[in-house]
Structure 1
Amino acid sequence: MARWRDGCGQLVVEGGFLVPLEVASSYRARTRGLLGRDGVQGAVLLSPATSVHTFRMRFPLDVAYLDRHLRVIALHTVPPNRLTAPRLRARHILEAEAGAMAQWGIRPGVRVRVELHAGHT
């Protein structure tokens, strides 16, 4: 299973679409997630993660559940103040503003790749 540090980079969607990416891999960063923000430019990868909540969120999210090979196994739009059920095969979760993932071509079955800026693994 891939392991990353908190940081920034880009998400490469199967087919070549590039998306600005934040990686939240520490407990603190995963817990903070998108709380307190009015939006997000690009996407946030929570790793490891099997579920999310949108309590105190200001906007709805697209939530993609990724398996250990970074293949999308499920995709949902989640309104504020909800808790999602854990996905047993999920190892990572990708979050973005509602509607963004469809524009990027992210759907179940699509594989993504993470490229971090120098100095991150």
Structure 2
Amino acid sequence: MVMFTTERTPEPVPLEVAESARARRRGLLGRDGVEGALLLGPASAVHTLGMRFAIDVAYLDRRLRVLAVRTMRPGRLGLPRPRSRYVLEAEAGAMERWGVRRGAQVTLHGRRPRVRGGRGTAQPPPPRGATHARLCSRELPWSELT
């Protein structure tokens, strides 16, 4: 089972990972609640059309650092967040209890999820000084080079 923590999380939080495109599209639709949180990736925007409950949404960058946290009521359409690579969804009020707020670092524990559209794992990108040849030798998808 995958769990996550932040610097302020009192105990590890259960995490469900949407590993396929179908799972990312479905998200929390059709559910009455969620135990823990759901990680979507790659993703930069979400909606709550057809949802039965309000959710907290945390937008994460490539290094799993929180860019923003919003609460969305059912029937809303969220705007895309620049630099967002992953989205963490949970029931409304949960992010505050867990200490997930802007600038917090999310750390994953347990089985390493596949969250890049079926390729790779949730790992930070190569260092800034990496050359094109070094990047190509790692066989990263084109989206990681742009």
Which band: TM-score by shorter chain?
0.7 to 0.9
1:77 lines up with 2:65 in the alignment: no
Of the three residues 6, 11, 14, the one matched with 1:13 is 6
Unaligned runs of 5+ in 1: 1-7
Corresponding residue number in structure 1 for 2:106: 112
Which of structures 1 and 2 has the bigger CA Rg?
A: 2
Structure having the larger proportion of residues in strand: 1
- Asked if 1 retains the 8 angstrom alpha-carbon contact of 2:54 and 2:91, the reply is yes
Question: Does the C-alpha gap of structure 1 residues 117 and 81 become closer, same or farther in structure 2, counting only changes over 3 Å?
Answer: same
Question: Does the C-alpha gap of structure 1 residues 80 and 119 become closer, same or farther in structure 2, counting only changes over 3 Å?
Answer: closer
- Asked if 2 retains the 8 angstrom alpha-carbon contact of 1:54 and 1:79, the reply is yes
CA RMSD of aligned residues (A): 1.7
Q: What is the number of equivalent residue pairs in this alignment?
A: 114
1:49 lines up with 2:54 in the alignment: no
1:32 lines up with 2:26 in the alignment: yes
In structure 2, C-alpha distance between the alignment counterparts of 1:43 and 1:86, rounded to whole Å? 20
Unaligned runs of 5+ in 2: 115-120, 122-146
Q: CA deviation at 1:15?
A: 4.0
Runs of 4 or more off by more than 4 Å in structure 1? Answer: 118-121
TM-score, L = length of structure 1: 0.87
TM-score, L = length of structure 2: 0.73
- Asked if 1 retains the 8 angstrom alpha-carbon contact of 2:60 and 2:68, the reply is yes
Structure having the larger proportion of residues in helix: 2
The secondary structure found in structure 1 opposite 2:88 is strand
Question: Does the C-alpha gap of structure 1 residues 109 and 28 become closer, same or farther in structure 2, counting only changes over 3 Å?
Answer: same
Percent pairwise identity: 57
Of the three residues 67, 83, 90, the one matched with 1:89 is 83
In structure 2, C-alpha distance between the alignment counterparts of 1:19 and 1:84, rounded to whole Å? 24
Relative contact order higher in (CA < 8 Å, ≥ 6 apart): 1
